[in-house]
Structure 1
Amino acid sequence: MRWIGAAAVTASLAAVAGCGGGTPAAAPADGAALTIYSGRSENLVGPLLDRLEKAVGVDVEVRYGSTGEMAAQLLEEGADSPADVFFGQDAGALGALSGAGLLAPLPADVIAPAAAKYRATDSTWVATSARARVVTYNPDLVPAADLPRSLDDLLDPKWKGRIGYAPSNASWLSFVTGLRLIRGEDGARQWLTAFAAQNPQRFDGNGAILDAVAAGTLPAGLVNHYYLYEKTSEVDPAGYKARNHYVPNDPLGLVNVAGAGVVEASDNKEAAQRAVAFLLSEEAQQYLVDETGEYPVVEGVTPTRDYDLAPLASLSPPDVNLADLSSLEQTEAMLQQVGLL
Structure 2
Amino acid sequence: MTSDKNDSVVIYTSVDQVFSEPILKEFENKTGIKVKALYDVEASKTVGLVNKLLAEKKNPQADVFWNSEVSRTIQLMNQDIFAPYKSIHWDKYPKEAKNENYYWTGFASRARVLIYNTDLLSESELPKSMFELTQPEWKGRVSMAYPLFGTTATHISSLYATIGKEATESYLKELHDNDVMIVDGNARTRDLVVEGVVPIAFTDTDDANVAIQQGKPVDTLYFDKEGIGTLLIPNTVSLVKNSPNSVAGKHLIDYLLSAKTEEMLAYGESAQMPLQSGVKKPEFIPDIADITAMNVDYEQAATYIEESAEFSKKLFIR
| Residue 45 of structure 1: aligned partner | 20
Does 1:155 find its partner at 2:134? yes
Superposed displacement of residue 56, structure 1: 4.1
| Residue 263 of structure 2: aligned partner | 286
**2:254 aligns with one of 273, 277, 280:** 277
Superposed displacement of residue 207, structure 1: 1.6
Superposed displacement of residue 260, structure 1: 0.6
Superposed displacement of residue 154, structure 1: 1.0
Task: State the TM-score, normalizing by the size of structure 2.
Answer: 0.91
Does 1:332 find its partner at 2:312? no
| Residue 6 of structure 1: aligned partner | none
Superposed displacement of residue 201, structure 1: 1.0
Q: 3-state DSSP class of the match of 1:174?
A: helix
Contact 1:134–1:252 under 8 Å retained in 2: no
Does 1:217 find its partner at 2:197? yes
Query: Cα deviation per residue 1:140-159 (whole Å; 9 max; x = unaligned)?
Result: 22232222222321111001
Amino acid at match of 2:113: V
Question: 1-side partners of 2:4 and 2:239: how far apart?
Answer: 18
Query: Cα deviation per residue 1:281-325 (whole Å; 9 max; x = unaligned)?
Result: 122111010002011121111324xx6222221111110012223
1:158-197 alignment to 2 at 5 Å? 158-167=137-146, 168-197=148-177
Superposed displacement of residue 251, structure 1: 5.0
| Residue 6 of structure 2: aligned partner | 31
Contact 1:139–1:242 under 8 Å retained in 2: yes
Distance 1:140 1:275, change over 3 A: same
Gaps of 5+ in 1: 1-27
Contact 1:210–1:221 under 8 Å retained in 2: yes
| Residue 273 of structure 2: aligned partner | 295
| Residue 185 of structure 2: aligned partner | 205
Q: 3-state DSSP class of the match of 2:103?
A: coil
Contact 2:14–2:49 under 8 Å retained in 1: yes
Q: 3-state DSSP class of the match of 2:57?
A: helix
| Residue 264 of structure 1: aligned partner | 241
Q: 3-state DSSP class of the match of 1:188?
A: helix
Question: 1-side partners of 2:228 and 2:158: how far apart?
Answer: 7
Moved more, 68-77 or 53-62: 53-62
Structure 1 residue ranges (4+ consecutive) displaced by more than 6 angstroms after TM superposition: none
Moved more, 123-132 or 251-260: 251-260
Superposed displacement of residue 126, structure 1: 0.6
Q: 3-state DSSP class of the match of 2:92?
A: coil
Moved more, 322-331 or 60-69: 322-331
Task: State the TM-score, normalizing by the size of structure 1.
Answer: 0.85
Distance 1:340 1:165, change over 3 A: farther
Superposed displacement of residue 102, structure 1: 0.5
1:81-120 alignment to 2 at 5 Å? 81-107=60-86, 109-120=88-99
Question: 2-side partners of 1:39 and 1:218: how far apart?
Answer: 27
Q: 3-state DSSP class of the match of 2:56?
A: helix
Amino acid at match of 1:100: Q
Amino acid at match of 2:86: P
Question: 2-side partners of 1:191 and 1:139: how far apart?
Answer: 26
Query: Cα deviation per residue 1:43-83 (whole Å; 9 max; x = unaligned)?
Result: 11111011122344422111111321111110111121210
Superposed displacement of residue 30, structure 1: 3.5
Gaps of 5+ in 2: none
CA RMSD of aligned residues (A): 1.9
Does 1:62 find its partner at 2:37? yes
| Residue 55 of structure 2: aligned partner | 76
Query: Cα deviation per residue 1:91-115 (whole Å; 9 max; x = unaligned)?
Result: 0011011111111111253422222
Identity rate, percent: 21
| Residue 141 of structure 1: aligned partner | 120
**1:323 aligns with one of 293, 299, 307:** 299
Query: Cα deviation per residue 1:153-185 (whole Å; 9 max; x = unaligned)?
Result: 111100100000111441111111011111211
**1:313 aligns with one of 264, 289, 292:** 289
Contact 1:134–1:224 under 8 Å retained in 2: yes
Q: 3-state DSSP class of the match of 2:253?
A: helix
